[in-house]
Structure 1
Amino acid sequence: MKSIFQHIKGDRAIWAIVAALAIFSFMPVYSASTNLVYVVGKGSTIGHLLKHIVLLITGFAIIYGVHKIPYRYFSGGAVLMLPVVVLLLVVTLAQGTTIGGANASRWIRIPFVGIGFQTSTLAGVVLMVYVARYLAKNKEKRIEFKDSLIQLWLPVGIILMLVLPANFSTTAIVFTMILLLTFIGGYPLKYIGYILSIGLFSLLFFILVAKAFPDAMHNRVDTWLSRLENFSKEGGTENYQVQKAKIAIATGGPLGKGGGKGVQKNFLPQSSSDFIYAIIIEEYGLLGGGIVVFMYFLLLFRILVTAKKATTIFGTLMVIGVGIPIVFQAIINMAVAVNILPVTGQTLPLISSGGTSIWMTCFALGIILSVSGSKDETEETILDDNPLDILHETI
Structure 2
Amino acid sequence: MLKKFKIDIKVLKEMDFTLFIVTILISLFGIINIYEATRMMKGNFTRNQLIFLLISVVILYISLHFDYSLLRNYVEIFYWGNIVLLIATKFIGVTVNGAQGWIRFPGGYQFQPAEFMKFAMILMLAKKMDQFDLKVNDFKNFMILVAYCVLPMGIIMKQPDMGMAMVCFFIALGIFFCAGLDYKIIGGGLIAVLLGIIILWNSPLIKDYQKTRVRALLNQEADELSTNLQLTQSMIGIGSGGILGTGPSFGSDTSRSYVAAFVPESETDFIFAIIAEHWGTIGSTILLILYGILIYRMIVDAKEAKDIFGSMICAGFTSYFIFAILQNIGMTIGIMPITGITLPLVSSGGSSLVTTFIAIALILNISMRKKKIYF
Q: Does TM, normalized by the shorter one, top 0.5?
A: yes
Query: Does the alignment pair 1:31 with 2:28?
Result: no
In the other structure, the counterpart of 2:133 is: 139
Deviations 1:244-268 (A, max 9, x none): 1111111101111111362221111
Trace 1:347-386 onto structure 2 (pairs within 5 A): 347-377=342-372
Deviation of residue 189 (structure 1)?
3.8
1:128·1:321 contact (CA, 8 Å) conserved in 2? yes
Cα distance change on mapping 1:173 and 1:140 into 2, 3 Å = closer
In the other structure, the counterpart of 1:95 is: 92
Query: Does the alignment pair 1:329 with 2:295?
Result: no
- Indicate the RMSD between aligned Cα atoms, in angstroms: 2.5
1:139·1:186 contact (CA, 8 Å) conserved in 2? no
- For the residue of structure 2 that corresponds to 1:209, the secondary structure is coil
- Provide the C-alpha distance between the structure 1 equivalents of 2:365 and 2:171, rounded to a whole number of angstroms: 21
Deviation of residue 148 (structure 1)?
3.4
Query: Does the alignment pair 1:224 with 2:210?
Result: yes
1:65·1:366 contact (CA, 8 Å) conserved in 2? no
In the other structure, the counterpart of 1:75 is: 72
- Provide the C-alpha distance between the structure 2 equivalents of 1:66 and 1:324, rounded to a whole number of angstroms: 22
Which runs of 5 or more structure 1 residues have no equivalent in the other structure?
38-42, 211-218, 379-395
| Structure 2 letter corresponding to 1:168 | M
Trace 1:235-246 onto structure 2 (pairs within 5 A): 235-238=221-224, 239-246=228-235
- Provide the C-alpha distance between the structure 1 equivalents of 2:175 and 2:53, rounded to a whole number of angstroms: 29
Deviations 1:294-319 (A, max 9, x none): 11011011111111221212221211
Cα distance change on mapping 1:140 and 1:146 into 2, 3 Å = closer
Cα distance change on mapping 1:234 and 1:324 into 2, 3 Å = closer
1:246·1:278 contact (CA, 8 Å) conserved in 2? yes
| Structure 1 letter corresponding to 2:278 | E
1:171 to 165, 168, 191: 165
| Structure 2 letter corresponding to 1:50 | R
Query: Does the alignment pair 1:119 with 2:124?
Result: no
Identity of aligned residues (%): 26
In the other structure, the counterpart of 1:184 is: 178
Cα distance change on mapping 1:115 and 1:220 into 2, 3 Å = farther
Structure 1 range deviating more: 200-209 or 338-347? 200-209
- Provide the C-alpha distance between the structure 2 equivalents of 1:60 and 1:70, rounded to a whole number of angstroms: 18
| Structure 1 letter corresponding to 2:115 | T
| Structure 2 letter corresponding to 1:285 | G
Normalised TM-score (structure 2)? 0.87
1:116·1:356 contact (CA, 8 Å) conserved in 2? no
Which runs of 5 or more structure 2 residues have no equivalent in the other structure?
250-255
Query: Does the alignment pair 1:296 with 2:282?
Result: no
In the other structure, the counterpart of 1:155 is: 148
Deviation of residue 191 (structure 1)?
4.0
Deviations 1:353-385 (A, max 9, x none): 01222121111111101100004449xxxxxxx
1:277 to 272, 275, 286: 272
| Structure 2 letter corresponding to 1:351 | V
Deviation of residue 220 (structure 1)?
5.6
